[in-house]
Structure 1
Amino acid sequence: MKAAILKTLGQPLDIEEMPAPEIGTGEVVVDVAAAPVLSYANEVFNGERRYNIGLPMVPGCGAIGRVRTSGPDATHLKPGDWVFCDPTVRSRDDALMPDIALQGWSARGDGGMRLQRHYHDGPFAEQVRVPTENAIRIGEIDPGDAARWCALNVVLVPYGGLLAANLLAGEILLVSGATGNFGSACVATALAMGARCVVAPGRNERALADLERRFGERVRTVKLSGNEDEDTKRMREAAPGPVDCVIDLLPPSATTTTVRAAVMAVRPYGRIVLMGGVGMLGGAGLDLPYPWIMRNDIVVRGKWMYPPEAVTRMTGLIRSGLLDLGHFDVTTFALDDANAAVSHAAANGGPFRMTVIRP
């Protein structure tokens, strides 16, 4: 099969023929129809993000495809089923504290690297081998829509945070990083889940105006000034009531003061979910006042990715019409043009924009 292979950090992907994956027990081989290219893929491939990866590797993070073959442990999957290939691979030998790797992308700790050595290659290829539980059925789709269904890869990340926050219909949510790729997807997802209002702070006025245009009065935008106390005050004032929950999705380049300004806008007895990348490249940690957290009964939770059942629930939100994939503008590339796709994704990131490879 043909694949795009990352052999050395800082070097272009090599487009080559390689052996097709061989199935084992507990595994599924999927014919890849579409694989998203994350906007920061170039930062992973040149080493800037400092991800733990073993090279050479076929990269990629998530895909839409059709089941080619499944192992004897599969009781529902059958050849031809449309599936989302969830890149979040969890070890099966410790239910309480599973190791996690993102297939074709990154690993966490020694256990994650062991997982990555087995589930090594991602979906920038004609076929990909995944654990049985990671090939999740999405129902019949038009093959021409496969690239747009790659939006699952974007919306599932903030959805995991909103599930962890137990966001309820009628609540007010503040999305820190709302003008980014994952942040804008979080706005759309929270509204689909029934949020009364989403407060969307940011510095990009064009992106803020676009959120207002797309979603109307249920989104209240706030132009950030850089003054922490003033920004916290303005975010509170923008909300139609007390802010029930804050979710942070800011990238590594953001400052901790920007995170804290949003976090401090939450009401007493409110919840905070941290999903962003602040601090991943070094620098100061997030300093929050102990008395404020304790006396106001604030819940602070970190969350990475999403639970396995989130894919099926998100598919339901999409098929019901509550979450419209039509918001996403998709540019596709052939596998032979994988390097051009990586460059395009870096130059064209942001709200509701996707770059997709179609093997």
Structure 2
Amino acid sequence: MKAAVLKSFGSPLVIEEVPAPVMGTGEVLVDVAATRVLSYTNEVFSGERRYLLELPAVPGLGAIGRVRAVGPDATHLAAGDWVYCDPTFRSRDDSISPDITLQGWSARGEGGLRLQRHFRHGTFAEQTLVPTENAKRIGAIDPADAPSWCALGTCLVPYGGFLAARLQPGETVLVNGATGNFGSAAVAVALAMGAACVVAPGRNEKVLSDLVRCFGPRVRTVTLGGNEDDDRERMRRAAPGPIDLVLDLMPPSVTTPTVRAAIMTVRSYGRVVLMGGVGMQGGPGLDLPYPWIMRQCISIHGVWMYPPEAAFGLVNLARAGLLRLDQFEVTTFDLDHANDAVAHAAANSGPFKMTVLEPNR
């Protein structure tokens, strides 16, 4: 099969023929219709992000595709089913604390690397191999809509955070990083789940205005000035009442005070979800005041990705029309132009923009 292979960090992808995956029990073989190219893919491929990814490998993080074949343990999946290939692979021999690898992207520790060595390749290829439980049926779709359905992968990340913090209809949410790709998706997901109001801070006034234009008065924007105390007060005043939940999705380049300012807007007994990248590339930690956490009874949730059942809930929101996947502006590339897709994704990383490879086009 044809695939885009990363031979070494800092080198371009090589488009070449590689052996097709060999399916075993507990696995599903999928023909890849569409797969996202994340905005920071160039940082992963250059080695800047220092992700655990053994090379050479076919990269690629999740996909929309059609089942080609299933193993003997599959009782519902069948050839021809449209599926979302969930890239979060978990070891099956410890359900309490499983090892995790993100397919074709990054592993968590030595156990995650062992998983990665088996499920060696990602989705920048004509076919991909996933554990049976990672092929999530999405129902029948028009093949032309497969690129738009890739937005599931973007929306699932904040959805996992909201599930962990048990977001309830009618609550007020602050999304820190709302002007970014994952952050803007978080605004859409929170509203789809019934949030009464989403406070959206940021420095890009155009993007903030676009969020209000897209979602209406349930979004309250805040232009940040850079002073931690002033920004915190400005965010609190923007909310119609106490802020019940703060979701942080800031990238590694953001400073600690910017993140702390948003987190400490949450009300007493409120919840904070940390899903961003602060400290991943060195530098100071978050440094939240112990007395504030304790006396205000703040719950802090560290969340990486989302639980296995999350995809089904998000598909239901999309099928019900509560979450619009068609609001994403999609630019597609064929596999031969994978390097162009990586460059395009880096240069076009705004809200509701998505770069997609179509390996079988």
- TM-score normalised by the chain length of structure 1: 1.00
| Letter in structure 2 aligned against 1:47 | G
Letter of the structure 2 residue corresponding to residue 38 of structure 1: L
SS in structure 2 of the partner of residue 185 of structure 1: helix
Letter in 2 for 1:314: L
Could you say which residue in structure 2 is the equivalent of 1:300?
300
| 1:325 Cα deviation from its structure 2 partner | 1.0
1:235 paired to 2:235: yes
RMSD, matched Cα: 0.5
Q: How does 1:13-162 map to 2 (within 5 A)?
A: 13-162=13-162
Match of 1:8 in 2: 8
**Cα shift at 1:326:** 1.8
TM-superposition CA deviations, 1:39-73 (whole Å, max 9, x none): 00000000000000110000000100000000011
Deviations 1:276-322 (A, max 9, x none): 00110000000111111111111011000001110000000000000
**Within 5 A, what are the aligned runs for 1:335-346?**
335-346=335-346
Task: State the partner residue of 1:326.
Answer: 326
**Distance across 2 between alignment mates of 1:314 and 1:201:** 25
1:236 CA displacement: 0.4
* Correspondence for 1:264: 264
In structure 1, distance between residues paired with 2:200 and 2:120: 37
Match of residue 224 from structure 2: 224
Residues 53-98 of structure 1, C-alpha deviations (whole Å, 9 max, x = no match):
1100000001000000000110000000000000000000001110
Per-residue CA distance 1:186-207 (angstroms, 9 max, x = gap): 0000000000000000011111
Query: CA separation in 1, counterparts of 2:231 and 2:221?
Result: 12
TM-score by length of 2: 0.99
Q: CA deviation at 1:350?
A: 1.6
Q: 1:195 maps to which residue?
A: 195
Shift of 1:261: 0.3
- Which residue number in structure 1 is paired with residue 247 of structure 2? 247
CA–CA separation in structure 2 for the residues paired with 1:122 and 1:276: 23
Q: Secondary structure at the match of 1:104?
A: coil
CA distance in 1, matches of 2:226, 2:235: 13
Once residues 73 and 252 of structure 2 are traced to their aligned partners in structure 1, the CA distance between those partners, rounded to angstroms, is 40
Q: Classify the secondary structure of the residue corresponding to 2:42.
A: helix
Aligned residues: 359
Q: For residue 166 of structure 1, what is the aligned residue in structure 2?
A: 166
Return the letter of the residue paired with 2:316. Answer: G
Deviations 1:160-202 (A, max 9, x none): 0000010000000000000000000000000000000000000
- Between the aligned partners of 1:63 and 1:136, the Cα distance in structure 2 is 11
**Mapped partners of 2:230, 2:120: distance in 1:** 47
Per the alignment, residue 175 of structure 2 pairs with: 175
User: 1:126-179 deviations in whole A, cap 9, x for unaligned?
Assistant: 000000000110000000000000001100000000000100000000000000
Query: Quick one: distance in 2 between partners of 1:49 and 1:206?
Result: 29
Unaligned runs of 5+ in 2: none
Q: C-alpha distance in 1, partners of 2:95/2:325? A: 34
Deviation at 1:327, TM superposition (A): 1.2
Alpha-carbon offset, residue 18 of structure 1: 1.0
Q: d(CA) in 2 for partners of 1:210 and 1:35?
A: 26
- Secondary structure of the residue aligned to 2:47 is coil
Offset from partner CA, 1:211-265 (integer Å, 9 cap, x none) = 0100010000000010000000000000000000001000000011011000010
Distance 1:117 1:256 in 2: 35
